[in-house]
Amino acid sequence: MAFSISIIASTVLVLINLTSWSGPSFNVSECLYNDSKLNIRYDERVETLALIFNLSESGEAHFRDNPAPRAMLARTLTARFSLFKNHEAVRKLNMLLKNDLVDSYDILISLYSSEFPEYEQTREYPSIYYEHDEFSKEEIISMFTDFHISVLNFYVDAGLKEFFRVEGKPLYDKLMAEVRSVAPQNNYTQQMEDYYGIRRNSYTILVSAFSFNGIGRSVTISSESGTDIYQFVSSDPDTESDMIELDRPDSFTIGYTNEQYFREIAVHELGHSFFHEALRENDEIIAMVNDIRFLFTDSLKVSMRAQGYTDWNMTFEEHLVRLGEITMAQRSGHNDFAEQYMATCIQERGFIYLGIIQQVFSIYENNRDEFSAIEDFIPVLIRQLKRIQPFK
């Protein structure tokens, strides 16, 4: 099994309508906003695991490879809890890392566990976590169960419950205020659900004080009751302050003040969730995408790989997500942005097939009685693309 960290840099300026939320402020902490399905908040499970990762060999590598003044808040908070560097949870995480059982900053696995004070795994991880050359699935489950117990012990031993509610409260109040200043408007998730014909239980954007900055990750968690989408967005390394004094939160910026950064790293990734079933789980469609791999020309490979998109499947999906952003902008009346973003994606970012894909999508938009969901239409799109010559 092999993992890779995802550092996200993409562009979206579509707006979301978010209203205030009132509810329990324990365990999962405060939820800043929601529009019935989308909310933005921090999560004590994610924060706790981020701290453990920061104290681990993975954290040391992140800090070493990205020297100060990068991630000064994460460094300062980690130093605050440095006495727990040899805690059993850190030692066991180092073991999981050495055996390639977790990624180098795999903090979203905490979402598969119940909230503190229980912190017990509530559902299986994705199958990749149980695929290993040396350990059986049963052995891996046992190791993770043991790790969960140590994470709960860390939460207790480090006094994190008290930290989140007392000492760290001004910090999180500031974090929430910064996020509130850049939070998007308008009912984005409802628009996307209607357009793609897909319904989810919820969409959550997770923000963080403890996490290394500049990281974006997505998790799709499905159960018998439906699917929940989580998008993690850590702070902006370009706007986080170089100097951090934890007892003076008004003297520094956490890194959630750049509206464009927040939308790029958070909202764009939510768009990917609408293609999850079609492009990640539908074997027939995946095979069809491979059949048009001839469109992945040498010049396109160069421009895509420079942005971290290493293969045709990723490139194809990125075309579709960006077209979704453009379409939502147009439907929201932001035609100037849609036109500018389209030009940027094609001329500067190299998404050369956006124009032809947009044309083919008119078939989808004009025949929704035939295509109730995007998964029904993608085979039609691929058959149309199979007929064209590769663009230079």
* Burial state string for 162-183 with b = 16 or more CB within 10 A and e = fewer than 16: ebbeeebeebbebbbebbeebb
Residue 203 lies in a domain: yes
pLDDT at residue 3 above 80? Answer: no
Kindly state whether residues 254 and 325 are assigned to the same domain.
no
Kindly state whether residues 93 and 153 are assigned to the same domain.
yes
pLDDT at residue 100 above 70? Answer: yes
Q: Which residues contact 38 (CB under 8 A, 6 or more apart)?
A: 16, 18, 188, 189, 202, 203, 204, 205, 270
Q: Which residues contact 343 (CB under 8 A, 6 or more apart)?
A: none
Higher pLDDT, 145 or 186: 145
pLDDT at residue 41 above 70? Answer: yes
Please report the pLDDT score of residue 154 as a whole number. 98
Residue 242 lies in a domain: yes
Kindly state whether residues 33 and 132 are assigned to the same domain.
yes
Please report the pLDDT score of residue 194 as a whole number. 94
Helix runs in the chain, H state only? 44-55, 57-65, 72-80, 88-98, 137-157, 160-162, 169-182, 188-196, 259-262, 268-272, 276, 283-291, 298-305, 312-331, 335-343, 354-366, 374-385
Cis peptide leading into residue 117 (ω within 30°)? yes
**Range from 82-96, 100-114, 173-187, 329-343 carrying the lowest mean pLDDT:** 173-187
Q: What is the mean pLDDT of residues 18-44?
A: 54
pLDDT at residue 359 above 70? Answer: yes
Higher pLDDT, 164 or 35: 164
Count of domains for the chain: 2
Angle at 275 between CA 34 and CA 382, to 5 degrees: 150
pLDDT at residue 43 above 90? Answer: yes
Kindly state whether residues 268 and 293 are assigned to the same domain.
no
Kindly state whether residues 299 and 369 are assigned to the same domain.
yes
Q: How do beta strands 38-41 and 202-206 pair?
A: parallel
Going by pLDDT thresholds of 50, 70 and 90, the confidence category of residue 186 is: low
Q: What is the pTM of this model?
A: 0.82
Residue 5 lies in a domain: no
Kindly state whether residues 50 and 126 are assigned to the same domain.
yes
Task: Quote the percentage of the chain above a pLDDT of 70.
Answer: 90
As a whole number of angstroms, the distance between CA 203 and CA 37 comes to 6
**3-class DSSP state of 204:** strand
Q: What is the mean pLDDT of residues 86-102?
A: 98
Task: Quote the percentage of the chain above a pLDDT of 90.
Answer: 76
Higher pLDDT, 135 or 269: 135
Residue 12 lies in a domain: no
Going by pLDDT thresholds of 50, 70 and 90, the confidence category of residue 318 is: very high
Kindly state whether residues 248 and 320 are assigned to the same domain.
no
Task: Report whether 188 contacts 328 (CB < 8 A).
Answer: yes
What is the full DSSP assignment across 124-183? Answer: PPPGGGG--SS--HHHHHHHHHHHHHHHHHHHHHTTHHHIIIIITHHHHHHHHHHHHHH-
Averaged pLDDT score across all residues of the chain: 89
Kindly state whether residues 218 and 334 are assigned to the same domain.
no
Kindly state whether residues 243 and 346 are assigned to the same domain.
no
Residue 215 lies in a domain: yes
Residue 2 lies in a domain: no
Give the distance from CA 86 to its chain's centroid: 29
Boundary residue ending a domain (253, 272, 291) = 272
Boundary residue ending a domain (272, 305, 329) = 272
Going by pLDDT thresholds of 50, 70 and 90, the confidence category of residue 383 is: very high
Boundary residue ending a domain (272, 298, 332) = 272
Q: What is the mean pLDDT of residues 155-178?
A: 97
Q: What is the pLDDT of residues 204-223, one digit of tens each?
A: 999 999 999 999 888 889 88
Kindly state whether residues 109 and 247 are assigned to the same domain.
yes
Kindly state whether residues 203 and 318 are assigned to the same domain.
no
Q: What is the mean pLDDT of residues 381-392?
A: 94
Please report the pLDDT score of residue 185 as a whole number. 60
Please report the pLDDT score of residue 36 as a whole number. 62
Q: Which domain holds residue 336?
A: 282-385
Task: Report whether 169 contacts 4 (CB < 8 A).
Answer: no
Kindly state whether residues 98 and 204 are assigned to the same domain.
yes
Please report the pLDDT score of residue 177 as a whole number. 94
Please report the pLDDT score of residue 259 as a whole number. 84
Residue 3 lies in a domain: no
pLDDT at residue 22 above 90? Answer: no
Residue 259 lies in a domain: yes
